[in-house]
């Protein structure tokens, strides 16, 4: 029998479902119970965390488990570049050139700008908004490689997230591997520090948030389950690397009315390998967005 996940999530969970998954009266318990249903219906592995920037509370489901960053680390990379520009460690107006041999798959901005080059700031924006892989590797070289990215996370209080390789190899992360991984708990907190904390100057944080809002790759993931009138932004990641079971990622922020902003990190590893982005797997993250909506209205 096909299960309608939206019907399960609506109306506070049906009694029959609740008999299978105990629903606690506290908000974290209800949050976890709803996500267990999403995970069970999807037949994969889910990790989700929400950070309340007002209270400092972190609520999660399977939040400790490691998942690949895929392209989602580019949000932190863009933030690091913005910070270096403001702190004087990098000239964001510097013009950078590259040749055709440097172009990687999915590099729409750097392919279009091959003849003219781009500034470092433009490359950071392209890495975030278009997930441009060539722009990403150029920037990684400028900040000390994957080790520089990891050092940035450690410096801002993230002991878990790590980057070990460049694009595209960083997407090859079989289950159980720790290279190029993070956890939902760690990344929800990191996104909070970057978007609504004191890591970045306010102008840079505002720029980063706007780049996230303008990022269209996540419109069919968590943001698809949020009320359209709520301001939200994100960065996605996807790995369809052969032999490792496909992974879908979405990290970001949401600003519900009449409460402090929330940041989120959602990771889903399917139990099968996909040759292209799987609509059903994207719908899993949209269901996470619906759970986040319920959380924001009740927590």
Tell how strand 95-96 and strand 118-119 pair up: antiparallel
* Residue 225: burial class (beta carbons within 10 Å; 0-12, 13-18, 19+): buried
- For residue 276, what are the contacts with CB-CB under 8 A and spacing of at least 6? 240
Q: What is the pLDDT of residue 228?
A: 97
Number of other residues whose CB lies within 10 A of the CB of residue 253: 24
Q: What is the pLDDT of residue 10?
A: 39
Q: Write out the DSSP string of 246-293.
A: -EEEEEEEEE-TTS--EEEEEEEEESS--SS--HHHHHHHHHHHHHHH
The CA distance from 200 to 79, in Å, is: 8
Is 281 one of the annotated active-site residues of the chain? no
The CA distance from 142 to 130, in Å, is: 19
Q: Write out the DSSP string of 204-253.
A: HHHHHHHHHHH--TTTTTGGGGS-TTSEEEEEEEEE--TTS--EEEEEEE
CA dihedral 43, 283, 230, 194 (to 10 degrees): 60
Q: How far is CA 243 from CA 69, 171, 248, 271, 275, in A?
A: 17, 12, 15, 11, 11
The CA distance from 131 to 8, in Å, is: 33
**DSSP letter (8 states) at residue 161:** -
- Active-site residue, from 71, 76, 107, 239: 71
CA dihedral 296, 227, 209, 234 (to 10 degrees): 90
The CA distance from 290 to 251, in Å, is: 15
The CA distance from 124 to 136, in Å, is: 7
Mean pLDDT of successive 10-residue segments in the chain (299 residues)? 37 30 55 95 96 97 98 98 98 98 98 98 98 98 98 98 98 97 98 98 98 97 98 98 96 98 98 96 98 95
Backbone angles phi, psi at 32, to 5 degrees: -65, -40
The CA distance from 127 to 276, in Å, is: 21
C-beta of residue 209 within 8 angstroms of C-beta of residue 253: yes
């Amino acid at each position: 029998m096909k299960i309608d996940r939206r019907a399960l999530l609506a109306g506070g969970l049906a009694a029959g479902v609740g008999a299978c998954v105990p629903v606690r009266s506290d908000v974290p318990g209800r949050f976890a119970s709803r996500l267990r249903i999403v995970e069970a219906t999807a037949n994969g592995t889910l990790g989700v965390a929400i950070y309340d920037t007002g209270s400092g509370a972190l609520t999660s489901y399977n939040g400790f488990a490691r998942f690949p960053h895929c392209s989602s680390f580019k949000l932190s990379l863009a933030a690091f570049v913005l910070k270096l520009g403001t702190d004087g460690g990098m000239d964001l107006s510097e013009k950078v050139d590259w040749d055709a041999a440097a172009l990687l798959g999915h590099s729409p901005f750097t392919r279009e700008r091959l003849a003219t080059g781009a500034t470092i700031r433009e490359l950071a924006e392209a890495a975030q908004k278009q997930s441009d892989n060539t722009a990403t590797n150029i920037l990684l070289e400028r900040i000390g490689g994957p080790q520089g990215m990891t050092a940035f996370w450690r410096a801002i209080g993230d002991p878990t997230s790590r980057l070990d390789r460049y694009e595209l190899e960083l997407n090859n992360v079989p289950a159980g591997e720790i290279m190029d991984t993070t956890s939902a708990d760690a990344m929800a907190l990191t996104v909070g520090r970057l978007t609504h904390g004191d890591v970045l100057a306010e102008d840079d944080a505002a720029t980063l948030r706007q780049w996230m809002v303008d990022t269209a790759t996540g419109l069919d993931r968590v943001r698809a389950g949020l009320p359209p009138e709520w301001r939200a932004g994100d960065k996605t990641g996807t790995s369809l690397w052969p032999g490792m079971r496909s992974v879908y990622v979405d990290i970001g922020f949401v600003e519900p009315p009449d409460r402090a902003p929330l940041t989120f990190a959602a990771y889903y590893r399917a139990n099968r390998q996909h040759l292209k982005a799987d609509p059903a797997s994207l719908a899993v993250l949209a269901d996470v967005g619906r759970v986040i909506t319920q959380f924001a209205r009740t927590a």
